[in-house]
């Protein structure tokens, strides 16, 4: 059994760790509320905009289709992996990294797969196996629509210029504080929804349907990427809050076990001292 000093040192160490994890849990809980409100308010707008764009795109002739809808033979794929800059959030980053690797080995086996990293953790791991086209770890220092839109414009330019034939997003979708769902979404090219051509026959489009779609597509793509980053941001704080809650509970349990061990060792030491005193007294009497 460890001596009393070693046990006391371990109790102090575990207590310090418990204080840190508890503080991190409370910080993540505070940030989660704001991030959750932001993504909850944004989703209906983003989903409706995407639905409208796909519905309009389905009614256009092939010759008048957008440059962002160009279907090409897929040889070069760009994966936008959205992770976080910090760890201590369970399997949050690992799940995105695993999905990115799975895509390159299964869905796009034999293709030239590159990565745009949003988040330091994803960049650190994926840079060892993939060509990193762009590292945008600083995005989370100032997460605004304009900053995300700049990245979306870069992705659109690379697709239009033919550098990549397909661009997909991989990120964690926020469901609740304890659940994050790894999502893989096609960013480019845009795939119109089939069977929607008859739904817009009663509408009059000004100036024209083609021009409306051309203006909506860049905005929709920027919104789609911003929604993915916002989802990931909320998921990160939810995952970290859950991880720190479990870590705090484990630290509390370990501290209680150490205190019990300490009390048993202390009682045993006191008992031994009493026995030694009694034994010495008996020896003197004899």
What does the alpha-carbon distance between residue 116 and residue 225 come to, in Å, rounded to a whole number?
Answer: 12
Please confirm, yes or no, whether 89 is among the known catalytic residues.
Answer: yes
Q: What strand order describes the sheet that includes 166-176?
A: 131-135, 112-118, 76-82, 166-176, 179-188
Contact present, 262 and 2 (Cβ < 8 Å): no
Strand positions, DSSP E, 63-111: 76-82
Please give the Cα distance from 114 to 123 (Å, whole number). 12
Kindly name the residue from 89, 103, 113, 243 that is annotated as catalytic: 89
Question: Count of CB atoms within 10 A of residue 126's CB?
Answer: 25
Enter the DSSP assignment of 68: G
CA angle 228, 230, 232 (to 5 degrees): 70
Residue 168 dihedral angles phi and psi, to the nearest 5°: -125, 150
Catalytic positions, please?
89
């Amino acid at each position: 059994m460890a001596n009393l000093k070693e046990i006391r040192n371990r109790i102090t160490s575990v207590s310090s760790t418990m204080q840190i994890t508890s503080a991190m849990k409370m910080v993540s809980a505070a940030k989660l509320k704001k991030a959750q409100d932001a993504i909850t308010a944004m989703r209906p707008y983003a989903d409706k905009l995407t639905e409208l764009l796909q519905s309009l795109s389905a009614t256009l002739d092939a010759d008048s289709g957008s440059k962002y809808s160009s279907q090409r033979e897929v040889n070069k794929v760009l994966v936008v992996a959205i992770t976080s800059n910090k760890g201590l959030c369970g399997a949050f980053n690992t799940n995105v990294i695993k999905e990115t690797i799975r895509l390159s080995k299964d869905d796009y086996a034999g293709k030239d797969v590159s990565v745009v990293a949003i988040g330091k953790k994803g960049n650190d791991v994926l840079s060892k196996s993939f060509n990193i086209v762009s590292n945008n770890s600083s995005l989370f220092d100032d997460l605004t629509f304009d900053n995300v839109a700049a990245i979306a414009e870069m992705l659109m330019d690379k697709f239009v210029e033919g550098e990549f034939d397909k661009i997909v997003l991989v990120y964690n979708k926020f469901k609740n504080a304890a659940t994050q769902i790894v999502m893989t979404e096609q960013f480019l090219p845009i795939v119109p929804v089939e069977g929607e051509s008859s739904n817009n026959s009663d509408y009059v489009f000004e100036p024209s349907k083609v021009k409306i779609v051309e203006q909506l597509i860049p905005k929709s793509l920027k919104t789609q990427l911003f929604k993915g980053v916002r989802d990931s941001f909320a998921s990160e704080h939810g995952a970290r809050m859950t991880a720190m809650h479990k870590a705090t509970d484990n630290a509390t349990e370990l501290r209680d076990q150490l205190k019990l061990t300490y009390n048993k060792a202390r009682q045993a030491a006191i008992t031994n001292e009493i026995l030694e005193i009694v034994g010495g007294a008996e020896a003197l009497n004899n």
